[in-house]
Amino acid sequence: MNPSDSSSAETDWATLTQEYEGFPLYLRFPRLVENEAIQARFPVVLVLTHTFNFRQFGRASEPTYNDTLGEFNSAILTHFERDGLGLMVLVETFGGRRNYYFYVQPAVDLASVLQSLRARFPACALTGRRKEDPTWQFIRQCRSELGF
């Protein structure tokens, strides 16, 4: 798979639902073929966290509220892929938040990404963090611990 030639709409996604700390944990992840060239191109793990404005007792988002997030979700999922700057590896919904995990190029500026998305979607509470991870240890550990 060439990340710059793909879009999230074309990506083969898998899902997994588990219980974690007594609450539902929803995972969505693309079926990717990892190789050294992709890892070398995207050595930074970047996480965008959306804190839900409305959620149910089980901490998932309210269904009607969730229905309003389609454009926001799509914008995040395609933000890095459309320019070949990154690759989506996991979407995790848990505890009233949705975390979007990407591997990106080192030049990606988190502050600029947040500024751009916040300007487009001011009603969505969005934070982020990034960390060097050239061996993709984070996603490998997730796959091992969560079984995907």
Q: Which residues contact 77 (CB under 8 A, 6 or more apart)?
A: 8, 88, 91, 100
Phi-psi region of 8 (alpha: psi -120 to 50; beta: other; left: phi over 0): alpha
pLDDT digits (tens, 9 = 90+) for 14-48: 777 878 777 778 888 777 666 778 889 999 999 99
Pairwise CA distance, residues 97 & 49, whole Å: 7
- Please report how many Cα atoms fall inside a 13 Å half-sphere around the Cα of residue 79, on the Cβ side: 27
pTM of the model: 0.82
Backbone angles phi, psi at 55, to 5 degrees: -145, 160
Long-range contacts of residues 32-35, Cβ cutoff 8 Å, at least 24 apart: 32/1, 32/87, 32/89, 33/1, 34/136
pLDDT digits (tens, 9 = 90+) for 87-133: 999 999 888 889 999 999 999 999 999 999 999 999 899 999 999 99
Q: Which residues contact 37 (CB under 8 A, 6 or more apart)?
A: none
